[in-house]
Structure 1
Amino acid sequence: MIIPVIMAGGTGTRMWPASRKALPKQFAPLLGGDTLFQQTVKRLSDPRFDRPCVISAEDCRFIARDQMGAAGASNVLHLVEPVARNTAAAVLTAALAHRDQPEAVLLISPSDHVISDEAGFHAAVDLGRDAAAEGEVVCFGVFPTHPSSAYGYLQVDRGSDAKVQKVTEFIEKPDAAAATELLGRGNSLWNAGIFMLRVDVALELFKTHASDLLPPCHGGLSLGGEDLGFHRLNRDAFKRCRAIAFDRAIMEKLPSCTVVSLDCGWADLGSWSALRDHQVKKPGGNALIGDASAIDCRNSLLKSTNSDMAIVGLGLDGIVAVATDDAVLVADASRSEDVGKAIEVLNARSAPQAEEFPRCHRPWGFYETLSLGARFQVKRIVVHPGQKLSLQSHVHRAEHWVVVEGSALVTVGEETKLVSENESTYIPLGAVHRLENPGKLPLALIEVQSGCYLGEDDITRYEDIYARDQNEEVA
């Protein structure tokens, strides 16, 4: 029995501006089509796998659930982290959640990797399964194609079989010179960050090497509770976890472990330059995504996330240019690992582009700002079929709703009425109100707000089917 553990709690800051805290890269459509998270879910839905366990951040729990549903996954144990504590705490919590199946094998998988050869991946998992079932700790390595400082490395035993070998040393992300030296050795692999081990083995390793994580992880799990199909970990307990990666807490302390080589088109899209290298190249070595054109350019990535926004590069060499609805990144491709510095600059001046998108996802659907002035804001709101916003009121603003698609069930005070396409309704300042979609098609409306303060925190919530508390300043 193999239980996939899908790690989906990362923020993906190195892929800004297309990836942000509000929609990390694993949930963003970086390549078009399925997101990286959806690709992972589908890859781990093969009959050889048991019910998957997904671990996501609290802010992204509904996005993860929606994308899992779109990927065809319904029977999932979904653990929700109230705070980020890196991968060691996540792995331990997953193991504790399955402690009644001590001999089950956990497959720890990131959700932001590309694997183009699914059959090759499954073949590698099959090779690792037997060793893991016997109590071995199994990791997966990729033969390096170039010296890279973006990955950790695994030193392997030259004399072992090429597909299954022994790891003799874990090597942290090296500098450029050390990466070149490792490539020349011929017996070093990139660490793919994918692991297999039995539940009882995982618990024993944490007891030996990171016992301080056991009480807060156990408390987070046992004191947490079921909520709308999620298992939300207890905040007070889980936040006491030390933030440390699974590699550092456990793997690097092992005297040796087994490594299976991956030959399946693996790529960790951890930076824009990595995405450029992964894409099928156009003439000149350029990667073009979306409405993008290159004129006399070389080795550059041009990406537009908006079908209405064209991006054109002229005479560029080794440049990354990414345009979204509200931000543009232009960077030397060799500096794409440093994109996090852009977020630091934006956060220093409280710019919303650091973490938020104009389109904000909510459990009931999404909204996006179309126009914003000193005392007014115009939004487009889309509510999924059968969903409804919280019962709420505003202290500083009134609202006018115009339905443009579908039908809305609107409550204002004691009155509830159905508002159809091309009809409108008015929400006075201070009125208790709610918006619902009673139909089977999406509801779209235009909201015009007016008032002296238009921030999202001007919400008094009285009732909410999504069990959000008043600290979650969202509609």
Structure 2
Amino acid sequence: MIFPCILSGGIGSRLWPLSRKDRPKQFLPLFGGESLFQKTAKRVNHSGFSAPIVIGSNDHRFLIGEQLSELGITANSILLEPMGRNTAPPALMAALIAEESDPDALVLLLPSDHLIRKEEVFLEAVRGAEQAARDGAIVTFGIKPSEPNTGYGYIKVVPGEEPVRRVDTFVEKPDLARAESFLKDGGYFWNAGIFLYSAKTMIEAFKTHQPALYEGLLAVMETRHSDLDFTRLDADLFGKLENISIDYAVMEKAENVACAPVAPEWDDLGSWSAIWTVLDKDEDGNSSLGDSRFLGSRNCLAYADQGLVSVIGLEDVMVIATSDSVLVAHKDKAQDVKHVVDQLKSEGRDEVDRHPRAYKPWGY
């Protein structure tokens, strides 16, 4: 059995002012009335998968419960992190939970903020990687790059045509020249942060490469206790865990790492420029969410939470308007939105934490 584990933490600061601490991007119903979290849960709501393990923030517990309920999906468990500790602790916690139910369990670790348009292609890749995971590999899914994107890390794989190939090396986010060379080489793939592994394999990997974190997490998991539909952890013990990604903690150290290349029309919607990429466009390349108008403008994005946004005589510009904040930025500067959020945080502004309109399952 494959146990999907959906990681639903994070606040999506680069999608401010729409994404905020109390309602981050993965829970926003931007795509056909569904959120990215819901699309992720539906993606693995198939035979061969167990009910999902969801690991998320205590701040979002009711959002998680409500959005799963809207889909008619009951979670295996909803584990609430007292604070964020990156992706390494959840990778091990999911393995420990899955092994309790099935000693031979596989875990599919999934971020909740990805858009996959060809879901069957992705599921075929998962099925194709299943045996490699059962044989002891930690499989990461590499996305075939469609452009020399500098916002993603890359995975270099050994040459071949097999559905799962050995990883040569992991590469940090490159500059444009290097990204262009990766695209020409053909042996590099975007690191999607999606992993398939056996619970036993990941537990052994932590014992070998992160023994202190392993022991710390065992102690944390001993403190689990139920609270309605949720599982809580001791905040003091959890706060002492190292804040580290699964890439740094295990993937870059282990020798049993493999990659399954796949082209499922995947997008990590981490910025407004990425949102523009996946939306329908008019004949001038403009995209909109909400009520907007374009005049003499090209390749722009407009979002109107309330009222109307008009964009005149601009190119490659994003205009995002909520009831209490407006963002205007060039698409090339989409990654810098987080710096505005950091500045607002330092000033103690509520606009980074509180959404101007409370959301309930029946609407705003």
Into which bin does the TM-score normalised by the smaller protein fall?
over 0.9
Using the alignment, how far apart are the partners of 2:309 and 2:232 within structure 1? Answer: 42
1:187 aligns with 2:159: no
Equivalent residues in 2 for 1:422-433, closer than 5 Å: none
Q: Which amino acid aligns with 2:126?
A: V
Using the alignment, how far apart are the partners of 2:32 and 2:341 within structure 1? Answer: 24
**CA separation of 1:353 and 1:32: change in aligned 2, threshold 3 A:** farther
Using the alignment, how far apart are the partners of 2:233 and 2:30 within structure 1? Answer: 30
Match of 1:339 among 316, 337, 340: 337
**Post-superposition shift, 1:32?**
4.2
In structure 2, the residue matched to 1:447 is none
Verify the 8 A CA contact 1:169 1:256 in the aligned structure 2: no
Aligned residues between the structures: 362
Q: Which amino acid aligns with 1:31?
A: F
Using the alignment, how far apart are the partners of 1:209 and 1:337 within structure 2? Answer: 32
1:174 aligns with 2:185: no
**Post-superposition shift, 1:164?**
2.7
Equivalent residues in 2 for 1:43-192, closer than 5 Å: 43-100=43-100, 101-158=102-159, 160-161=160-161, 163-192=163-192
- Unpaired stretches in structure 1, ≥5 consecutive residues: 366-383, 385-441, 445-475
Equivalent residues in 2 for 1:428-447, closer than 5 Å: none
In structure 2, the residue matched to 1:15 is 15
Using the alignment, how far apart are the partners of 2:198 and 2:257 within structure 1? Answer: 13
Using the alignment, how far apart are the partners of 1:322 and 1:210 within structure 2? Answer: 42
TM-score of the superposed pair, with normalisation by structure 1: 0.74
Verify the 8 A CA contact 1:219 1:234 in the aligned structure 2: no
**Post-superposition shift, 1:193?**
0.9
Deviates more, 1:178-187 or 1:106-115: 178-187
Verify the 8 A CA contact 1:216 1:239 in the aligned structure 2: no
**Post-superposition shift, 1:165?**
2.1
Equivalent residues in 2 for 1:378-457, closer than 5 Å: none
Deviations 1:413-438 (A, max 9, x none): xxxxxxxxxxxxxxxxxxxxxxxxxx
Equivalent residues in 2 for 1:31-46, closer than 5 Å: 31-46=31-46
Q: Which amino acid aligns with 1:201?
A: T
In structure 2, the residue matched to 1:416 is none
Verify the 8 A CA contact 1:97 1:221 in the aligned structure 2: no
Match of 1:317 among 315, 329, 336: 315
Using the alignment, how far apart are the partners of 2:168 and 2:279 within structure 1? Answer: 33
Verify the 8 A CA contact 2:105 2:198 in the aligned structure 1: yes
Using the alignment, how far apart are the partners of 1:273 and 1:344 within structure 2? Answer: 19
Verify the 8 A CA contact 2:13 2:19 in the aligned structure 1: yes
Deviations 1:11-63 (A, max 9, x none): 11111111011111100123341000000011111112012100010100111
Verify the 8 A CA contact 1:16 1:339 in the aligned structure 2: yes
SS of 1:329 mapped into structure 2: strand
Deviates more, 1:101-110 or 1:172-181: 172-181
Using the alignment, how far apart are the partners of 2:136 and 2:162 within structure 1? Answer: 21
SS of 2:196 mapped into structure 1: strand
SS of 2:79 mapped into structure 1: strand
Verify the 8 A CA contact 1:220 1:233 in the aligned structure 2: yes
Using the alignment, how far apart are the partners of 1:132 and 1:222 within structure 2? Answer: 27
Match of 2:349 among 331, 348, 351: 351
**Superposition CA RMSD, Å:** 1.6
SS of 1:125 mapped into structure 2: helix
Using the alignment, how far apart are the partners of 1:211 and 1:360 within structure 2? Answer: 43
Deviates more, 1:13-22 or 1:337-346: 337-346
TM-score of the superposed pair, with normalisation by structure 2: 0.95
Using the alignment, how far apart are the partners of 1:330 and 1:198 within structure 2? Answer: 45
Using the alignment, how far apart are the partners of 1:292 and 1:260 within structure 2? Answer: 41
Using the alignment, how far apart are the partners of 1:31 and 1:322 within structure 2? Answer: 17
- For the pair shown, the structure with the greater C-alpha radius of gyration is 1
Higher RCO structure (Cα 8 Å, ≥6 apart): 2
SS of 1:359 mapped into structure 2: coil
Using the alignment, how far apart are the partners of 1:84 and 1:329 within structure 2? Answer: 27
Q: Which amino acid aligns with 1:141?
A: G
Verify the 8 A CA contact 1:156 1:187 in the aligned structure 2: yes
Q: Which amino acid aligns with 1:328?
A: V
Verify the 8 A CA contact 2:98 2:107 in the aligned structure 1: no
Using the alignment, how far apart are the partners of 1:305 and 1:329 within structure 2? Answer: 12
SS of 2:99 mapped into structure 1: coil
Using the alignment, how far apart are the partners of 1:51 and 1:32 within structure 2? Answer: 24
In structure 2, the residue matched to 1:270 is 270
- Unpaired stretches in structure 2, ≥5 consecutive residues: none
**Post-superposition shift, 1:223?**
0.8
Using the alignment, how far apart are the partners of 2:250 and 2:13 within structure 1? Answer: 25
Using the alignment, how far apart are the partners of 1:154 and 1:284 within structure 2? Answer: 35
Give every structure 1 segment of 4 or more consecutive aligned residues whose post-TM-superposition deviation is greater than 6 Å.
Answer: none
Using the alignment, how far apart are the partners of 2:83 and 2:216 within structure 1? Answer: 12
**Post-superposition shift, 1:224?**
2.4
Using the alignment, how far apart are the partners of 1:298 and 1:75 within structure 2? Answer: 44
Using the alignment, how far apart are the partners of 1:303 and 1:238 within structure 2? Answer: 38
Verify the 8 A CA contact 1:304 1:322 in the aligned structure 2: yes
